Amino acid sequence: MITSKSLARQGNPNSLVLGLSRSTASLPTPKSSMRRRPSEDSDIMEPLREVRDGYLISLTLGTPPQVIQVYMDTGSDLTWVPYGNLSFDCMDCDDYRNNKLVATYSPSHSTSSFRDVCSSSFCIDIHSSDNSLDPCTVSGCSLSMLLKGTCTRPCPSFAYTYGAGGVVIGTLTRDTLRVHGSNPSVITRDIPKFTFGCVGSAYREPIGIAGFGKGPLSLPSQLGFLHKGFSHCFLPFKFANNPNISSPLVIGDVAISSRNNMQFTPMLKSPMYPNYYYMGLEAITVGTNISPTQVPLTLREFDSQGNGGMLIDSGTTYTHLPEPFYSQLLSKLDSMITYPRASEVEARTGFDLCYKVPCPNNTFMDDQFPSVTFHFLNNVSVVLPQGNHFYAMSAPVNSIAVKCLLFQSMDDGDYGPAGVFGSFQQQNMEQSMTKMGNICNISSDSKNYSGLGFFFNNSVGKRGSKPELQVW
């Protein structure tokens, strides 16, 4: 089993060691699976838990502390939490709320909480899409204060939109963020004036989010570790109901014991969406000893407006691929699978390929689905770990389990990424994103795990750029 100690040097003064967990929420339907977007250092540790539609990290905010679990999302920057037990209103969230009790944050119960001001860089950043609207002007500051830059009125309310249509409305708040140390000499560390969204209204976003993008509002940026990167290994969905198992997450210096057998591929940076993580996909192979199927150029290049590329997004459950390539992939998979189709499940769930798989003695055995290999730029090939493409929709019934492909077609549109590498396909892979070139390792005896390290710099994602992704 991989532990957090395998991802960072013990006692490393330049890293935070966290834990991710997966929640026990029901598996999201395809249409709802994509979301967009003190002075002495010490190792820090806190659990990340698995959920069937994402990975959770616990944030400890305020004085006295309030603990709120939020999704880890590499596809967005803003960290936000629901506001108030009775005040938080989420539309189109009934299915989730019927199964989960969502912890909320109450600023009035924290003596260290205060509203961010309109002149702060964070307020300006979150309102940057407002174009000509200056936050302090909207707040009603006088001309004299505007010219002197001395206005201290609260930052206006914001509306933050995600790619699949989710929206949150709230205010920027600052409070103390407490993290827990893996170094016995430092049990906890308080980070004052951490900036996050205090959200009172949401649409299709029932739980808070920890943004891990590259923008100034993201959690790694505010902790001062973005330039050093972060690393994680998402443990499988099957651990969702086990509170004693969490997925390791390291923010800061991520080290490896060996660089043997590493492969390198360029990471891409979109000039239009510089805060997101992209890689270039060249082809996908279904099965073994078969020629790869080439993917569209848009999955490895950006157009003049910065659209294209393969987005790496922990906040999107399933991998999304563009048409008509996606339909070609489905046809190839179906032609190689001998199990009978579960058409009734496909119709009910919206998944495109579902099969009835024999399970002797009503236990899950190794299935006979063909392997799926992703080929990235610079001849890097990653075979998805077993269980990263088909998923059992329920327990076996009469020694039969229905397993569905957890890939989806990309929504039509000319803007944004051409494809998304989702969190379900990232299971059992150790991944590292850093500007410094350091990566974290995987135990040599963990033979069921793959390694995938992502590296980025300030190069634009076009031919000839040199940011790197490493696979080991």
Q: What pLDDT sits at residue 448?
A: 38
The percentage of the chain sitting over the pLDDT mark of 70, rounded to a whole number, equals: 71
Tell whether the model's pLDDT for residue 449 goes beyond 50.
no
Q: Is the pLDDT of residue 455 over 50?
A: no
The angle subtended at Cα 16 by Cα 257 and Cα 58, nearest 5°, is 130
Higher pLDDT, 45 or 137: 137
Run of H or E including 348: helix 343-349
Render pLDDT for 59-113 as a digit per residue (tens, 0 to 9): 999 999 999 989 999 999 999 999 986 678 888 887 555 555 678 999 999 999 9
When pLDDT is averaged across residues 310-318 and rounded to a whole number, the result is 90
351 vs 33, 175, 345, CA distance in Å? 11, 42, 8
Contacts of 104 (CB under 8 A, 6+ apart): 68, 81, 82, 83, 84, 85, 87, 88
Extract the runs of DSSP E, i.e. beta strands, from 26-120: 48-51, 54-61, 66-73, 80-82, 89-91, 114-115
What's the predicted TM-score (pTM) here?
0.82
pLDDT of 291 higher than 50: yes
Domains of the chain, earliest start first: 4-252 (2.40.70.10), 263-471 (2.40.70.10)
Residue 194 has a pLDDT of 97
**How sure is the predictor about 132, in pLDDT bands with cuts at 50, 70 and 90?**
low
Q: How far apart are CA 16 and CA 45, in angstroms?
A: 6
Mean pLDDT of 423-444: 59
Q: What per-residue confidence (pLDDT) applies to 8? A: 38
Would you place residue 217 in the very low, low, confident or very high pLDDT band (cuts 50, 70, 90)? very high
Q: Where are the alpha helices (DSSP H) in 216-293?
A: 219-222
Cβ of 363: how many Cβ atoms within 10 Å? 10
3-class secondary structure, 285: strand
Q: What is the DSSP string of 369-382?
A: PPPEEEEETTTEEE
Q: What is the pLDDT of residue 38?
A: 26
The 10s digit of each residue's pLDDT in 257-273 is 345 555 666 778 888 88
Q: Long-range contacts made by residues 26-29, C-beta under 8 angstroms, separation at least 24? A: 26/52, 26/53, 26/95, 26/99, 27/52, 27/53, 27/237, 27/317, 27/391, 27/393, 28/52, 28/53, 28/317, 29/349, 29/350
pLDDT of res. 4: 34
pLDDT surpassing 50 at residue 227: yes
Confidence of residue 14 (pLDDT cuts 50, 70, 90): low
Place 439 in a pLDDT band, splitting at 50, 70 and 90: very low
Rounded Cα distance, 472 and 465, in Å: 22
